Structure 1
Amino acid sequence: MKNKYNYSQLILLTFFTICSCYAQNNIKTKPNILFISVDDLRPALGVYDDTVAITPNIDRLAGEGMTFRQTFSQVAVCAPSRASLMTGLRPDSTRVWHLGDKFREIYPSTVTMPQHFAKNGYHTVNLGKIFHNYMPDSISWNEPDLRPSQYLQKDWLKRDGETFYIDAEVNKSQAVKRDSLLKLKPVRYADGWNTGPAWEAADVHDTLYYDGAQTELAKRTLTRLANSEAPFYMGLGFFRPHLPFTAPKKYWDLYDAKDIPLAANPNVAKNAPGHTMNSMYELRHYDGFNDIGHPQSDFKMNEERSRTLKHGYYASVSYVDALVGSLIAHLKEIGLYDNTVIILWGDHGWKLGDHNSWGKMTNYNIDLQVPMIIRYPNQENRGAQTFEITELVDMFPSLCEIAGIEVPSYMQGTSFLPLIKDPKRSWKSAAFSQFHRRPKVSADGNRYMGYSINTKEYHYIEWYTWDPKTGTKGELTGKELFDRINDPHETVNIAGNKELSEVTITLSKQLKKGWKQALPHL
């Protein structure tokens, strides 16, 4: 019997086999990416010196990585913030300014972060809220919108993971209210399911709430991906601590509501413009809160409800912390931890009675400042913190650089990798944010755009009339200036102080020059 191959063919076969093995091994050397979003998470974590928060697992992750203490969201509401950080572009470039704007409809050819990683050999998977709720942007993922099997009911496909309760009577009432709402208007936020109590503390296992069930699915998916030849990029979006504050009772039991301090800045900033605050319409959807007024009115939340809401928020944060700990333990068990980049972030902050308000949707730093923690293979300065200014829009180019793939040339953020190597080096001189105040939620019924600049010393905001069709600002209607050193809670707007006129003029010029002029000198 003759040999199947002649000598020259065997040499070629051996050569291509070696090349193939090298290519596969080269792919495997790229780190996996675990991209963890925590919805509505302000820096309410122990590692950020929050003395109330019980978050041992996230704090432990920070101890093995880098904690960014001065990170700012580009917009303090979900859809615009996530569109910005997932595309590496700022809101005036994505033209996603409020919840209803969809970047894929505005710019269909947009390349998102997971798309870019997929083009560079990554297998991309999405669970939970990475883009905005029921807009998973299937184009971005090899495996889009994975959900626990028990939630794959036909009527729930447009329902958000944040809207599920345990109590049977609540579920019945919620369904009745939803049916009534859809008769009035068939297309609604969360498909009409965002009704019910503002909190729940059922005495159940972690996996019986959506985030817990989703974490178990993520662990099973990671086990499957561990056997894959390609590195993975997994987007895992937790829904808590978004309203309603539903979490297993044991996390509520970690806290005593009487020991949780009320907001340090319970009033709207003195001398604030009339359109600076949101109407709190988000909280108003929930049972017992239909009567709450606008923060810039005579409305005041009573102490009992305030304490319960804060209690629920912190219980929800501790619940997510436990799930993150379970996820990381699983990564270690299946041998993926050492070669996985883990980045955890909040999409914007959340007021817990601050500025007489509950929710997000302002240009104040209680809504703009967010946690961002990263841990990756062969990282320098583990356990370090940096107080230099960073922005959520920086994540896209940073993860590309860490993974060793090309950084798209059009990025409007800056890779923070040099800052990890030297946490005390001089970095960005400012962070830039904005907020679109729509007529139906502003105190005076008019439309505005507020542009914000944060330096280490000051926070400055300019408000303008706004044309949403053209995306252009009109008349200047208000200014706000806060001393970040001496008034960190932003209690008094000092833009009108004559002795600070030069500061205001300088910051106004810096705001108009924009983000490019604030970049670090590399």
Structure 2
Amino acid sequence: MKKYLFFHISILTIIISSCTCYAQEKKKTKPNIIFISVDDLRPTLGVYGDTIAVTPNIDQLAAEGMTFRQTFSQVAVCAPSRASLMTGLRPDSTRVWHLGDKFREINPNTVTMPQYFSKFGYKTVNLGKIFHNYMPDSVSWDEPDLRPSKYLKKDWLNRDGETFYISEEVNNSQAVKRDSLLKLRPIRYADGWNTGPAWEAADVHDTIYYDGAQTELAKKTLSRLAKTETPFYMGLGYFRPHLPFTAPKKYWDLYDAQKIPLAANPNVPQNAPGHTMNSMYELRHYDGFNDIGHPQSDFKMNEERSRKLKHGYYASVSYVDALVGNLVAHLKEIGLYDNTVIILWGDHGWKLGDHNSWGKMTNYNIDLQVPMIIRYPNQENRGAQTFEITELVDMFPSLCEIAGIEVPNYMQGTSFLPLIKDPKRSWKSAAFSQFHRRPKVSADGNRYMGYSINTKEYHYIEWYTWNTKTGTRGELTGKELYDRKNDPNETVNIIAEHKLTEVKASLAKKLEAGWRKAKPNLIK
């Protein structure tokens, strides 16, 4: 009887153990997700062929994943770009067209990517800039706005991580300027803290600047999440290389400023309409740059300042690269790496003297093309690259498919998983972007909306007058056409060339037909 009882208890134990293991295995089938935003990051990375950039850690991530070489932002400025990719909808659907538009106010019922993942059992955590500053959007996250403890001061709650310096002299100056600015207008970008020099190279540990302190908090948070069986979605938004270019001195020391090449396309494109360029008001806020003119004027940045700015951008990129490497090493150390999706992306590009400008906010490809790199469990073709066209709006459906959860039927992007399995397969025929040019920053003082379509061969743009109240376009005011193969730096607008009549007509038709007609054929 005892033998019989022992036998049944043993069998029962095995069954219970098997069920427990199966349950744990089921929980583990959903991979964790680390969604890494790098603000203002153009493809200034070694893996994208930049021979100057020192980015070994991001390059290594790419070697273990997939690099998308032709990814386009839907809008070359933070708020609209992020609203689009975080909802899976394009700008004319989100109706977020410029920095001041807030998607949660425009449509309170919007479901963002972390909100959607939460429905499928994910714990969602946010550090840094994922939505536009400063908008942590508490609706989207279980833990919406984790910050390093030393930055939790009351006066800093609406301050962006990009605005902190090491210099006490600068800090004091910022506080004085902020008081004056808030008296003039109480609601301001970055809560009035976005003043000071355009760069800083303090000889300090990585953790002394905000992004480094934030990475340490991310590591602690990951260690905490590793102790649970719940899959997580972590949004980790780095502020550099956004202005000001503040990074530890050792990252500046990686470069010789005299060996960093200046822009290959230093002029506004020939034959460009008068409203294509932004005014560079972002850079004008920083010390020593209030004199700069509009790119479509006679203004020219001198070589000394150009080299300093470009040096600072590269140093900032290398700083973030080191922090990403630190984060990945920690994931491996605590045993999370193998079951974690890591996707790293830039929200738009940034001109470093290109088109006589510094900043973003145009429809040119120097502002639209961005890096996008993904690494995930059981991935095929590790280390591969694809030159097929993808868009940031594709990330939402792609991550759903990787996680094994239902893709919302309203997505306006396309999952790129088939492209990872076959990087050379035929994919999207075009990418679609747009930009709202406001009167106060356009060269002629008028308001426009520019619609852009990129194919592998050409980049075509149409500009219209724009009714900001109704969100509708009016009169066609200008066109641009660039040969992507023979003029990749977009130096000459060739819209007037008669031999391209059929090309122009075809592109205009494709632009009007929109993104739905450019989707890939998924049957192969």
TM-score (norm 2): 0.96
What's the counterpart of residue 284 of structure 1?
A: 284
1:394 and 1:111 map into 2 onto residues whose CA distance is 16
What's the counterpart of residue 308 of structure 1?
A: 308
What's the counterpart of residue 54 of structure 1?
A: 54
Over the matched positions of the two proteins, sequence identity in percent amounts to 86
Kept in 2, the 8 Å contact 1:77–1:98? The answer is yes
Q: Which deviates further from its counterpart, 256-265 or 494-503?
A: 494-503
What's the counterpart of residue 396 of structure 1?
A: 396
Q: Which runs of 5+ in 2 are unaligned?
A: 1-10
What's the counterpart of residue 466 of structure 1?
A: 466
What's the counterpart of residue 445 of structure 1?
A: 445
User: How far did residue 22 of structure 1 move?
Assistant: 4.0
2:447 and 2:90 map into 1 onto residues whose CA distance is 20
Report SS of the residue matched to 1:155.
helix
Amino acid at match of 1:370: V
Counterpart check, 1:293 vs 2:276: no
Q: Which runs of 5+ in 1 are unaligned?
A: 1-10
Amino acid at match of 1:333: E
What's the counterpart of residue 231 of structure 1?
A: 231
**Superposed CA offset, 1:417-445 (max 9, x none):** 00000000000000000000000000000
What's the counterpart of residue 8 of structure 1?
A: none
1:13 and 1:418 map into 2 onto residues whose CA distance is 43
Amino acid at match of 1:84: S
**Superposed CA offset, 1:253-289 (max 9, x none):** 0001100000000000000000000000000000000
Report SS of the residue matched to 1:203.
coil
What's the counterpart of residue 418 of structure 1?
A: 418
Amino acid at match of 1:152: L
Kept in 2, the 8 Å contact 1:263–1:354? The answer is yes
User: How far did residue 175 of structure 1 move?
Assistant: 0.5
What's the counterpart of residue 374 of structure 2?
A: 374
How many residues get paired? 512
State how 1:26-65 maps to structure 2 within 5 Å.
Answer: 26-65=26-65
Report SS of the residue matched to 1:144.
strand
1:388 and 1:212 map into 2 onto residues whose CA distance is 34
Amino acid at match of 1:101: D
Kept in 2, the 8 Å contact 1:27–1:121? The answer is no
1:205 and 1:21 map into 2 onto residues whose CA distance is 44
Report SS of the residue matched to 1:236.
strand
State how 1:324-363 maps to structure 2 within 5 Å.
Answer: 324-363=324-363
2:188 and 2:16 map into 1 onto residues whose CA distance is 56
2:247 and 2:253 map into 1 onto residues whose CA distance is 11
1:367 and 1:447 map into 2 onto residues whose CA distance is 20
1:43 and 1:17 map into 2 onto residues whose CA distance is 49
State how 1:250-269 maps to structure 2 within 5 Å.
Answer: 250-269=250-269
Amino acid at match of 1:181: L
Report SS of the residue matched to 1:385.
strand
2:409 and 2:282 map into 1 onto residues whose CA distance is 38
Q: Which deviates further from its counterpart, 110-119 or 13-22?
A: 13-22
1:175 and 1:520 map into 2 onto residues whose CA distance is 52
2:227 and 2:29 map into 1 onto residues whose CA distance is 14
Counterpart check, 1:212 vs 2:212: yes
State how 1:488-507 maps to structure 2 within 5 Å.
Answer: 488-507=488-507
Kept in 2, the 8 Å contact 1:46–1:59? The answer is yes
State how 1:14-33 maps to structure 2 within 5 Å.
Answer: 22-33=22-33
2:207 and 2:232 map into 1 onto residues whose CA distance is 24
TM-score (norm 1): 0.97
Cα RMSD after superposing both structures: 1.4
Kept in 2, the 8 Å contact 1:348–1:368? The answer is yes
2:16 and 2:51 map into 1 onto residues whose CA distance is 59
Report SS of the residue matched to 1:480.
strand
User: How far did residue 229 of structure 1 move?
Assistant: 1.3
User: How far did residue 28 of structure 1 move?
Assistant: 2.1
What's the counterpart of residue 6 of structure 1?
A: none
2:244 and 2:346 map into 1 onto residues whose CA distance is 17
What's the counterpart of residue 5 of structure 1?
A: none
Report SS of the residue matched to 2:393.
helix
Counterpart check, 1:510 vs 2:510: yes
Q: Do the aligned partners of residues 186 and 13 (structure 1) sit closer, same or farther apart at CA in structure 2, a change above 3 Å counting?
A: farther
Amino acid at match of 1:486: N
**Superposed CA offset, 1:19-54 (max 9, x none):** 676444312221100100000000000000001100
1:16 and 1:71 map into 2 onto residues whose CA distance is 48
What's the counterpart of residue 126 of structure 1?
A: 126
Report SS of the residue matched to 2:508.
helix
User: How far did residue 147 of structure 1 move?
Assistant: 0.2
Counterpart check, 1:189 vs 2:166: no
1:19 and 1:383 map into 2 onto residues whose CA distance is 37
What's the counterpart of residue 142 of structure 1?
A: 142
Report SS of the residue matched to 1:41.
coil
